[in-house]
Amino acid sequence: MYLKNMLDMKKVMWLKGSEQMIKVNVFKKSVLIFMLLIISTVVYAHGERNQEPFLRMKTLHWYDAKWSVKNEATIQVNDEVVLEGKVHFFSRWPQVINKPDVIFLANATPGPVFIREESYLNEVPMIQSTGVELGNVYDYKVKLKARIPGRHHVHPMINVESAGGLVGPGIWITVEGNADDFVYSVETRTGQTIDNLGTYATGNVYKWHAIWGAIALFWILWWIRRPLLIERYLMVKDGQWSKLITLTDMKLGASLIVFIIGLLIYANMITKEAHKYTIPLQGGKAEIDKIPNPNEGLVYVKNKKAEYYLPGRTVTINADITNNHDLPIQLGEFTSANLRFINHHVPAAVKAVDNGYPEELVADSSLVIDDQNPIMPGETRRINIDATDAAWEVERLSSLLNDPDSSYGALLFFYDTNGKRIVSEVYGQILPTFVD
């Protein structure tokens, strides 16, 4: 009876323990699923939001950005998309990253879902890297071809040596079709037509990988065919170095070296026979001529004070504007980190918004200027600019207060009475504020 009671108690304890383990496992799995959901949300979010605010505000300012298709457009595999516009290299480049002496124009997408067919900077083909001057504006153009189906965020991007990619504004594009239908045909300089560059000469790739893999496998099997660890350890311990590598091992090694050298010579000969004209990978830099700016010096902006009001998600800038132009001017747009704030009192600025720019990056009616009167020629006026929008928080730009360099950079777009646009930089330290 005692034994039976003990067994029953153990059974109950085991059942309770199993129930607790099940509960613990369910809890652990729930936490894991929750964490995966959080991670997947972060991955789904735009990658440019992970860049520090000072990088996005004080490096590149992209404007007049256009895409050959609209946001949320649906295209097919093999369809082409063109990205073009202007990119301004901020003159007060951050000290913590390399200057853009070596850059490369590219595109930012979630993997190789598009191929880049052509790219230009100031109409110069960007097959190679190049260098730019700070404070200048360059025209960019990137031609892409859809490759893999899915919903993709597509941006222009400039890679800066030792600093990484700096991403411009992007739109969502849905690619439909079958990835196996993708074709990328090119014509070589000798007139040969390659039907699909993506699968060109893959037979040779497989063949030579198999050859070198077989040689490597043979070499590995040669050494592991005999005891490796204990026996050889004892030889080393006893100082029997001559027995570690036998005469047969040395003969085989020498024969293998001769065979590999001969194989390389043979491979080089048949390659030259098949491809008589070859061009090595180019290591130079393309040269880009500077495009003169006819509006340079027409407007001078001096930052006096800048604050970020956290509860209201508002950047306030107090600046002196000097009009060196021969016509009155008005501030029409404030742009920074791809965000655009539009002054609806300036028709030319409102008209410039309607160019397919991503709606989530346009704070359409959130730019407030304390004095909307035109600034007359030769006049210097202090104005107060309020740029208010939740996008400061959504785009994670409010974290600029945690940067080691709490400063901002932006472009101001002025328009004269003839509708001519004048672009000017504004920059300075920015301080947080929590009260009105």
pLDDT reported for residue 436:
66
CB atoms within 10 A of CB 223: 11
Which of 58, 67, 54 has its CA nearest to residue 109?
67
Classify residue 418 by burial, with Cβ atoms within 10 Å: 0-12, 13-18, 19+. Answer: exposed
pLDDT reported for residue 46:
52
- Asked if the model's pLDDT at residue 152 lies above 70, the reply is yes
- pLDDT band, residue 63 (cuts 50/70/90): very high
Between CA 329 and CA 301 the distance in angstroms is 13
- Asked if the model's pLDDT at residue 16 lies above 90, the reply is no
Residues β-bridged to residue 89: 60
User: What rounded mean pLDDT belongs to the chain?
Assistant: 86
- Asked if the model's pLDDT at residue 401 lies above 90, the reply is no
pLDDT reported for residue 335:
95
Whole-number percent of the chain with pLDDT over 70: 88
> In this predicted model, what pLDDT tens digit does every residue of 35-59 receive, in sequence order?
444 444 334 445 677 778 888 899 9
- Asked if the model's pLDDT at residue 261 lies above 90, the reply is yes
pLDDT reported for residue 280:
83
What is the pLDDT averaged over residues 365-386? 93
Which of 61, 60, 66 has its CA nearest to residue 142?
66
**Rounded to an integer, what is the distance from CA 397 to the centroid of its chain?**
17
pLDDT reported for residue 364:
66
What is the pLDDT averaged over residues 287-310? 89
Per-residue 3-state assignment (H helix, E strand, C coil) for the chain: CHHHHHHHHHHHHHHHHHHHHHHHHHHHHHHHHHHHHHHHHHHHCCHHHHCCHHHHHCCEEEEEEEECCCCCEEEECCCEEEEEEEEEECCCCCCCCCCCCCEEEEEECCCCCEEEEEEEECCEECCCEECCCCCCEEEEEEEEEECCCEEEEEEEEEEECCCEEEECCCEEEEEECCHHHCCCCEECCCCCEECCCCCCCHHHHHHHHHHHHHHHHHHHHHHHCCCCCHHHHHHHHCCCHHHCCCHHHHHHHHHHHHHHHHHHHHHHHHHHHHCCCCCCCCCCEECCCCCCCCCCCCEEEEEEEEEEECCCCEEEEEEEEEECCCCCEEEEEEEECCEEEECCCCHHHHHHHCCCCCHHHEECCCEEECCCCCECCCCEEEEEEEEECCHHHHCCCHHHHHCCCCEEEEEEEEEECCCCEEEEEEEEECEEECCC
pLDDT reported for residue 47:
63
Structure token pair of residue 142: 């990137």
pLDDT reported for residue 216:
96
Which of 198, 113, 106, 200 has its CA nearest to residue 152?
113
What is the pLDDT averaged over residues 394-400? 81
pLDDT reported for residue 134:
94
pLDDT reported for residue 422:
95
C-alpha distances in Å from residue 168, one per residue of 57, 91, 171, 237, 424: 11, 18, 10, 63, 19
Q: Long-range contact list for 120-126, CB < 8 A, 24+ apart?
A: 121/286, 121/288, 122/288, 122/289, 122/291, 124/286, 124/287, 124/288, 124/289, 125/286, 126/286
Between CA 149 and CA 139 the distance in angstroms is 30
pLDDT reported for residue 276:
84
- Asked if the model's pLDDT at residue 313 lies above 50, the reply is yes
- pLDDT band, residue 26 (cuts 50/70/90): very low
- Asked if the model's pLDDT at residue 30 lies above 70, the reply is no
Rg over CA atoms, the chain? 32
Which of 333, 339, 344 has its CA nearest to residue 422?
333
What is the pLDDT averaged over residues 405-420? 91
Give 178's contacts (C-beta < 8 A, 6+ positions apart): 77, 149
- Asked if the model's pLDDT at residue 5 lies above 70, the reply is no
> In this predicted model, what pLDDT tens digit does every residue of 88-100 receive, in sequence order?
999 999 888 899 9
Is residue 340 within 8 A of residue 282, CB to CB? The reply is no
- Asked if the model's pLDDT at residue 166 lies above 60, the reply is yes
- pLDDT band, residue 15 (cuts 50/70/90): very low
- Asked if the model's pLDDT at residue 130 lies above 90, the reply is yes
- pLDDT band, residue 14 (cuts 50/70/90): very low
pLDDT reported for residue 168:
93
> In this predicted model, what pLDDT tens digit does every residue of 193-227 receive, in sequence order?
998 888 888 999 999 999 999 999 999 999 888 77
**Rounded to an integer, what is the distance from CA 139 to the centroid of its chain?**
19
- Asked if the model's pLDDT at residue 25 lies above 80, the reply is no
What is the pLDDT averaged over residues 127-147? 95
pLDDT reported for residue 153:
94
